[in-house]
Structures are given as structure tokens and as C-alpha cells.
């Protein structure tokens, strides 16, 4: 889906600053994100408006586009 990638930019994971710090991550770092549904690699976006217990990762990319394994 090149149109989506162009509109949305690269894959990202959005986290609260405390969550990022606890994982040794900074804004702009690349992180491996693992869940029961799979894994991907995404650029970290640190956002103070996020809850510390929430990690946001868009799910609109398919296959290996923008970092998927």
C-alpha cells in the first residue's frame, strides 16, 4: 500500500517518556515491539500525552512494509 505509507510515514511506536526511559529508549530510536500477535520494528515516538501503561502501534501496514517481520 504505497499510498498509505506515503501518507502516514514510517512505522512508529508511541510511548510515554517514563515508559521509554524504563526500556532505555529515546525519541527517534528504533525498537523491537513484541506482542502475542507478533513482532515488528518501529521508530520510537515519545509523547507525554500517552498513558505510561499504554503503547500505541498503528496496525495499518501489512507484510514487511516499514519494518514488519
**Alpha carbon separation from 7 to 11, 15, 24 (Å, rounded):** 12, 21, 29
Q: Is the distance from CB of 44 to CB of 27 less than 8 angstroms?
A: yes
Kindly state the helix (H) or strand (E) to which residue 41 belongs, with its residue range: strand 38-46
Q: What pLDDT score was predicted for residue 8?
A: 67
Taking only the tens place, the pLDDT of each residue in 6-65 is: 776 788 999 999 999 999 999 999 999 998 988 999 999 999 999 999 999 987 655 554
pLDDT band for position 66 (50/70/90)?
Answer: very low
Amino acid at each position: 500500500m504505497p499510498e498509505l505509507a506515503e501518507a502516514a510515514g514510517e512505522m512508529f511506536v508511541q510511548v510515554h517518556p517514563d515508559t521509554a526511559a524504563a526500556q532505555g529508549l529515546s525519541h527517534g530510536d528504533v525498537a523491537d515491539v513484541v506482542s502475542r500477535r507478533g513482532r515488528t520494528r518501529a521508530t520510537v515516538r515519545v509523547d507525554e500525552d500517552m498513558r505510561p501503561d499504554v503503547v500505541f502501534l498503528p496496525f495499518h501496514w501489512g507484510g514487511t512494509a516499514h519494518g514488519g517481520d
